[in-house]
Amino acid sequence: MKNIGINVNSSKDENNDILDHVLMILKKNFPGSQFHIYKDGIGLENSDDKNLDVLIALGGDGTILRAARKIYKFNTPILGVNIGHLGFLTSVELSELEEAIEKLKAKEFKVAERMMIKVTIPHKHNDNVHVALNDIVITKGTFSRMLTFDLYIDGSFYIRYKADGIIVSTPTGSTAYSLSAGGPIIYPTLNLINLTPICPNSNGVKTIILDEHNKITLKINSSGNNVFLSCDGQLELETNQYDEMIIEAEKEKCRLIEFNDYDYFNILRKKIIARSMDCEEK
């Protein structure tokens, strides 16, 4: 690996202590490599960085989500190192980093491709396409009334309902907001799209799971209320004046490094299921 990127969440490493530690380990294992440092994802989207052999993301899930949206088009694999709280998407904990870098050097890993989705706002002329690794969420404002959604699948009308919003998630994002809203857990490497309503006014409105080739058109009647669109809970846009959105699978995929001892169900049990059970007991 000749070009290695390091993206650090600066709020979790204010004095660069972790960054310096990571650089020391990397230089020991890859003495002839070039190292490119990024803070909070700034500059990752530049085309000059498309030749990175790997991007090491130092942070939590939010750090990986932000990085994924910026570099997915370059097919750069991401090695997530958890220095945050949950770290469900990360490959290793900081305490395991030295062993992980040795495995990286020995090529004892695989690259898992994770589906991404994109939303297009047809009547918005500038910056009208946005991508997400976890989910795209359309919601009403805090004090607004319910929104009315007309859902079309591949041009065919599916359903009309009122709700506080809708979550369109990938399998990766099925364990995030969608799960909290009653959606199912979907194995992360499947290519499916999950639509989960947020507080619908009818008990008959449930989650629907679609194929990656389906195109979802949402027509929204906001009745003058505020409407917000968010991608991965990070990018947020007010979209009151746009009454139609198209959501579909993104052609390119996010690539996450997984070591040979990676156990999805063990991580799911410890970091998602066990935590939710602890909350219920409290």
What is the pLDDT of the chain when averaged over all its residues?
A: 91
Read off the pLDDT of residues 229-258 as tens digits, 9 standing for 90 and up. 999 999 888 887 667 999 999 999 999 999
The CA-CA-CA angle for residues 232, 238, 243, to 5°, reads: 100
Segment (H or E) for 152: strand 147-153
Decide if pLDDT at 149 tops 70: yes
Q: Cβ distance 136 to 263 under 8 Å?
A: no
Cα–Cα separations (whole angstroms), residue 260 to 86, 91, 191, 263: 21, 11, 22, 9
Identify the H or E element spanning 277: helix 274-281
Among residues of the chain, what percentage have pLDDT more than 70?
A: 95
Q: Which residue has the tokens 């070009």?
A: 3
Q: Could you report the per-residue pLDDT of 156-173, keeping only the tens digit for each?
A: 999 999 999 999 999 999
Residue 126: is its pLDDT beyond 90?
no
Is 61 annotated in the active site?
yes
What is residue 219's predicted lDDT score, i.e. its pLDDT? 94
Distance CA 239, CA 241 (A): 6
Kindly name the residue from 13, 49, 61, 135 that is annotated as catalytic.
61
Q: Tell me, what's the pLDDT at 47?
A: 56
- Model pLDDT for residues 198-234, shown as the tens digit of each residue: 999 988 889 999 999 999 999 998 777 788 999 999 9
Under 8 Å between Cβ of 132 and 64: no
CB neighbour burial string for 56-89, b if at least 16 within 10 angstroms, e if fewer: bbbbbbbbbbbbbbbbbebebbbbbbbbbeebbb
pLDDT in tens, 25-46: 999 999 999 999 999 999 998 8
* Domains of the chain, earliest start first: 3-115+253-281 (3.40.50.10330), 117-249 (2.60.200.30)
Q: Are 47 and 103 in contact (CB under 8 A)?
A: no
Cα separation of the two ends of the chain? 47
